[in-house]
Amino acid sequence: MEKVNKSDYTKLSGEALFYYFTTDHPDKEYSSIISLLPIAIGDIKKVYNLLEQSVKENKVFVAVYPGVPELMKGIDISKMEYIGSIIDGALYLKQR
């Protein structure tokens, strides 16, 4: 698959968008969060749709680990949309 520059990823959809975020995205921490989406959702087509929606609405995914207090500082999940469970935590979607 060809490399995509940052401004072009908004034109991608489905599998290509997922591939961009998990492989070519410059923020590797965010890439690792995106790679957890299939675990949290369980259906790859729903993952693709949600990822497309998040790009259109300028939202980002957040991994939350309630059992690790130092990772919970400053995180207010009451303003986020719950996506699903991951190992030791959950994924949420929030406005950028």
Whole-angstrom distance, CA of residue 37 vs CA of residue 51: 9
Cα dihedral 62, 9, 42, 94 sign: positive
What single letter denotes the amino acid at residue 11? Answer: K
If one compares 67 and 20, the residue with the highest pLDDT of the two is: 20
More confident residue, 66 or 87: 87
Give the whole-number percent of the chain exceeding pLDDT 90: 74
User: pLDDT-based confidence at 7, cuts 50/70/90?
Assistant: low
Amino acid 74: pLDDT: 75
How far is residue 38's CA from residue 45's CA, in Å, rounded to a whole number?
9
What is the rounded CA–CA span in Å between residue 61 and residue 51? 9
- pLDDT of 4 higher than 90: no
**pLDDT tens digits, residue range 30-49?**
999 999 999 999 999 999 99
| pLDDT over 90 at 89, yes or no | yes
Enter the pTM of the model: 0.86
87 vs 40: CA distance, rounded Å: 9
